[in-house]
Structure 1
Amino acid sequence: MRYLCLAADYDGTLATHGKVEQEVIDALYRFKASTRQLILVTGRVLDELKVVFPEYELFDRIVAENGALLYNPATKEERLLGERPPASFINELHHQVKPLSVGKVILATWEPHHITVLEAIKKEGLELQVIFNKGAVMILPAGINKAKGLKETLKELNMSLHNVVAVGDAENDGAMLQAAECAVAVSNALPAVQHLADWVTGQPHGKGVIELIDRILKYDLQHLDCRLTRHYLCLGQRITDEDFSVCPYGPNILLSGTTKSGKSTMAAYILEKLLEKNYQFCLIDPEGDYLELHGGAVRIGDTAHAPSVEEVLSLLANPLQSVIVCILAIPLDDRPRYFNNLLTALSQMRKETGHPHWIIADEAHHMLPAPAAPSYYAIPDDFKNFIFISISTEGMNEAVLNKITLLISMGDDAAKSMEEFSRLRNMPLITTAVTPLQKGQAWVWDIAANNEPVLIKTGTPVHLLQRHKKKYARGDMDYNSFYFRGPENKMNLKAYNLMVFTEIAAGIDEETWRYHLKRKDYSNWLRHSVHDEELASMIDEIENNEQLAQRSRQTITDLINERYTA
């Protein structure tokens, strides 16, 4: 299931004229019976809500006071996300504004008193905000809104916003709708709120919520996937320079390519995009290649320590924490069994919490080898959202190949790999459509849609993988090597890695060094062959600056040594 949680506004959404009809309550119980979570997100004060809505306890959590107060009906625990304004401010408003409602954090009145409220805030010099709700005026600490309250509640439930549908009707619901994976407005919602929504129900108020619940239970809102393009994952660009993106829920991807095909760079790019969008992943790394993946991923395991399944699950409990599981310490013959056990646990975790959103296996043929019996692997029928990376389609087990919906093929053998896959799956492939690839290109074949393969230019990750850093620092870069030739090609000194580059740079004559500096050969090499845009930009600035040019040799070699060879 994609959507495990419904976050619903109260007034104007669940409730009609302040009351929730019995048929709406019945629908909420049906939703809970599906093992999903219910969160009520309201601008009302909690005590007032309990009076007008006696069935409040059917919700797993309540976010009251427009995000300022979190309440657990099961334990009766309350948590405040802000402080009530000072008594002097409240007393001043009492004299000028009627009615004035005072909660544990929130103050509320009605228009046109917002002008008086703003003047009082300015006079007192307070960091308060004013939020509107169909004529209501709410005063809250800065940064407190329904989105903030929802996020904090989801932390308590170990759930992700990517598994949430939010439904509302008024201005104060906007932040919550924009934060959730899927935004829904009931048909009586304000036009601006309807404009924010991915879908507007056909019915108003509670009947619209019933309509939404029925569609979640029946379809998991699959019909809305095409509207959620803001969440799509970019894999690169079409030849026409348009982004090529895929839905973040549903694809089963096989990324294949031989050594030096660029598949590791492609994998790093995809991981960066997942991290940018806060999709949690669990990556199984058999060779320690992902030691320096930045931004929200923690690594567990090394050459001496094989991470237990329990350790992995403990880290994944936080949906904002992605995990790289290094299995170098696990013998090759034991890896299929380890992967099978981990996959079983991850599948169960997904059913209960909706995450990890992606399961990724590098060198997947180590863990899912073709000779093993397909029945050995505990792959659920509804298993989705995985990326398996391998040198070829032939090396992969039938249990996985039968579930692939998107094939990304790279390198000189891309056409052959796609032909192998079409034969193994007994699917037609127009081989004339698959031409040889240039560097930085890939063929993407949407199996599920039965489309012809699409040629894309692959994206470049901001950060490099550990394996590539080692190769660039000390390995053999082959045809990507740098050549110190100088004016009129007087020299032909090959720097086949960055260490050799710094050694040669220290000894060549000034004329040769400046020749390449003025041509910007150093920054271009680092940008296009080493794929380090950040370092290339720093060196490009040195090449452009005459004052820096005097000491450019030392500065550039220092930068390279600091980043790669120290």
Structure 2
Amino acid sequence: MHLNIFALDLDGTLAENDQVAPATWKILRKAKSKGFRFILVTGRRLEELAAIGPFETYFEAIVAENGAVIHFVASDTVIMPFGSVAADIIQELGTLNIPVTRGMAIAATWKPHDQQILNVLAARGFPVTLEYNREAVMLLPPGATKGTGLLAALQELGYSYHNVLAIGDAENDRSLFSTAEYAVAVANADPGIKKTTDLTLALPNGAGIQQFMDGLINNKNTLHSTRSKHLITLGKKRDQSPFQLSTFHFIDGNLGVFGASGSGKSWLSGLLAEALLLKDYQICIIDPEGDHRNIKKFPHTILLGGTAVPPPALDQVATLLEYSTLNIILDLSLYTKDQQIVYVQDLLQLFCSLRNRRGKPHWILLEEAHYFCSSNDDQITLLLHRLMEQGGLSLVSYRPSQLAPDLLKKLDQWLFTYTKSQEELEAIKTMLPESAIQEHDFPACLFLLGNQQAYYCSKNKPDTPLVATTLIEFSNLSRMVPHVRHLHKYLHAPLARDKQFFFKNDGQDKKLLVAANLHDFSEMLPQLPMSVLKYHLYRGDFKNWLQHSVHDHELARLVQKITNRQLPDELLKSSLTETVAIRIAALESLL
């Protein structure tokens, strides 16, 4: 579960009548021993807290004075990121006999003095924000709220707000709830604030926190969110309604994306990557063949490695992920397969350590997963098991039959695109419970999938039967970063004579056939003798023609992937023919 940081309000939440129950301290201690982290977010002044309890023993940071003052416990430093309320404001309120309590950065009073304060602020134009907490009225420096104070603390600690679960009870917790990934109200919370949360506890105050944390520690609670800020669209269902899922499915779950080469797996996984980027999660894509280079065009996203330079040393990758919000695409295409395996093994070890310390990256995509984890005993397989315990891992492969069986069992959801390989269909069949096989005729239904269609399947929990199987169409979706932005005019219109493709026999000048455009090329491929096909394929003729004459860099890349795989003759021809045909269908859908 990615929610491993608790941001806790004090009065009315942790504490009741200035008292934190012994059982509440006990559950905090137990949760901390299990790896959970705590940040206190309160309207109280720092000097008031020592009399209530040993907060510095349990909390990494204390966001006090409604976000205006932050105490970092490990370094024993205090910062005021928004400044403080000016002294002349306090003096003027004193002349009006308004009782004011002064903190390090804020001032506080009680209703009904707020109307007098508003009159003073309106008349003098003082830069002050008023915040209410039931009968209390707080004067804050501009920009200071519980939410912005929490963000400042998280940034300094190297954490992400996507890992934060906030618990509170009052109106001044509203900004805290909107900042956190997941919002929880105790049973005694204000009715209005309950409407803004993901969950309301059954019990009040510390008793509610005790019960809730105990459930998380003992894996009794599964947290989901259906708030709009967490929903992503992956296509349309049969009835043309949007197919939407919560980001929690992918950040806390483990996904397999399986289908034939050229069936849209990488396009679909790229769509998911873009959706998570738009939600501001930190992601890392391990890309052995350069499928996702274009995602570098997203803000705060960088491409490392590629065809010209190798990927950087892992300590540099670690620094970027740990001390920034950058997303990383690691293009390993310059490496040999053996070099890729060594690099990925060390990279996954780094991810395990980084997630333990920082809870990120939130989502990891491993393309061509069958290259790296074919055996249950592989070191990479064992590292992937560790990462899957926390969720947020997606494996993409056109050969799920070559993946470690124990790894496949850990998946709790799948996206299946078209495939007709009997070996792969049998492998897919072993992943699914009998209910799915009977109801949807799995895996035979995958043979009938059209271009830009997929089945999404999920388990409720890793050890429960399949509960959702949905056919989705993603032909109506467009990628934020173009996976295809190609000139479909080359489909049917004849190219200039010197741009057409001339098929020749191995080592001979005699021209057998001439493809005037991409459609001709597709029609001629199945007719070619294997000697001719292999002659042009392994010389790089097909790739060069597609790249430089047709200007379809995506199809050129897919053809190069097939070239690299050294397939048997029959499978080589069928893979090449199907890949070109699927690509043409995709381009024609844009016409």
Normalising by structure 1, what TM-score?
0.78
> In structure 2, what is the equivalent of residue 409 of structure 1?
416
Of residues 279, 282, 291, the one that matches 2:284 is: 282
The alpha carbon displacement at 1:252 in A equals: 1.7
> May I ask how many residue pairs the two structures share in their alignment?
495
The alpha carbon displacement at 1:200 in A equals: 2.1
1:299 paired with 2:311, answer no
The alpha carbon displacement at 1:239 in A equals: 2.1
> In structure 1, what is the equivalent of residue 437 of structure 2?
429
Q: How many angstroms apart in 1 are the aligned matches of 2:124 and 2:292?
A: 53
Q: How many angstroms apart in 1 are the aligned matches of 2:78 and 2:195?
A: 34
Q: Aligned partner of 1:18: which letter?
A: D
Of residues 374, 381, 387, the one that matches 1:377 is: 381
Q: How many angstroms apart in 1 are the aligned matches of 2:337 and 2:455?
A: 30
After superposition, residues 514-533 of structure 1 pair within 5 angstroms as 529=587
The 3 A distance-change label for structure 1 pair 399 and 216 is closer
Q: How many angstroms apart in 2 are the aligned matches of 1:146 and 1:371?
A: 49
1:332 paired with 2:337, answer yes
The alpha carbon displacement at 1:424 in A equals: 6.6
The 3 A distance-change label for structure 1 pair 42 and 342 is same
Q: Aligned partner of 1:243: which letter?
A: F
Q: CA contact under 8 A between 2:187 and 2:205: conserved in structure 1?
A: yes
Of residues 458, 461, 475, the one that matches 2:479 is: 461
Q: CA contact under 8 A between 2:49 and 2:55: conserved in structure 1?
A: no
Q: Aligned partner of 1:461: which letter?
A: R
The 3 A distance-change label for structure 1 pair 399 and 165 is same
Q: Aligned partner of 1:407: which letter?
A: W
Of 410-419 and 79-88, deviating more is 410-419
Q: CA contact under 8 A between 1:238 and 1:457: conserved in structure 2?
A: yes
Q: Aligned partner of 2:238: which letter?
A: I
Q: How many angstroms apart in 2 are the aligned matches of 1:398 and 1:409?
A: 17
Q: How many angstroms apart in 2 are the aligned matches of 1:402 and 1:23?
A: 38
Q: CA contact under 8 A between 2:198 and 2:225: conserved in structure 1?
A: no
> In structure 1, what is the equivalent of residue 450 of structure 2?
438
Of residues 317, 340, 349, the one that matches 1:312 is: 317
Fraction of identical pairs, as percent: 27
The 3 A distance-change label for structure 1 pair 75 and 195 is same
Aligned-partner SS, 2:400: coil
> In structure 2, what is the equivalent of residue 321 of structure 1?
326
What CA RMSD, in Å, does the superposition of the two structures yield over aligned residues?
Answer: 3.4
1:481 paired with 2:491, answer yes
After superposition, residues 496-507 of structure 1 pair within 5 angstroms as none
The alpha carbon displacement at 1:451 in A equals: 4.0
Of 319-328 and 267-276, deviating more is 319-328
Q: How many angstroms apart in 2 are the aligned matches of 1:325 and 1:97?
A: 64
Q: Aligned partner of 1:291: which letter?
A: R
Q: How many angstroms apart in 1 are the aligned matches of 2:333 and 2:23?
A: 56
> In structure 1, what is the equivalent of residue 567 of structure 2?
none
- Identify unmatched segments of 5+ residues in structure 1: 485-492, 503-527, 537-566
The 3 A distance-change label for structure 1 pair 221 and 74 is same
The alpha carbon displacement at 1:501 in A equals: 9.5
Q: How many angstroms apart in 1 are the aligned matches of 2:323 and 2:473?
A: 34
Q: Deviations over 1:178-203 (max 9, x none)?
A: 22222111121111122222222232
Aligned-partner SS, 1:93: helix
Q: How many angstroms apart in 1 are the aligned matches of 2:31 and 2:441?
A: 50
> In structure 2, what is the equivalent of residue 347 of structure 1?
352
The alpha carbon displacement at 1:173 in A equals: 0.5
Q: Deviations over 1:425-444 (max 9, x none)?
A: 78662364626223322112
The alpha carbon displacement at 1:387 in A equals: 1.1
Q: How many angstroms apart in 2 are the aligned matches of 1:228 and 1:219?
A: 23
> In structure 2, what is the equivalent of residue 91 of structure 1?
91
The alpha carbon displacement at 1:230 in A equals: 4.5
Q: Deviations over 1:525-565 (max 9, x none)?
A: xxx84999xxx9xxxxxxxxxxxxxxxxxxxxxxxxxxxxx
Q: Aligned partner of 2:481: which letter?
A: H
Q: CA contact under 8 A between 2:381 and 2:407: conserved in structure 1?
A: no
Q: CA contact under 8 A between 2:345 and 2:379: conserved in structure 1?
A: no
Q: Deviations over 1:416-462 (max 9, x none)?
A: 84443114778662364626223322112225542464210224311
The alpha carbon displacement at 1:122 in A equals: 1.9
Aligned-partner SS, 1:377: helix
The 3 A distance-change label for structure 1 pair 55 and 270 is closer
> In structure 1, what is the equivalent of residue 533 of structure 2?
none
Q: How many angstroms apart in 2 are the aligned matches of 1:457 and 1:438?
A: 9
Q: Deviations over 1:89-117 (max 9, x none)?
A: 22212222522122222121111222222
The alpha carbon displacement at 1:128 in A equals: 2.6
Normalising by structure 2, what TM-score?
0.75
Q: Aligned partner of 1:410: which letter?
A: T
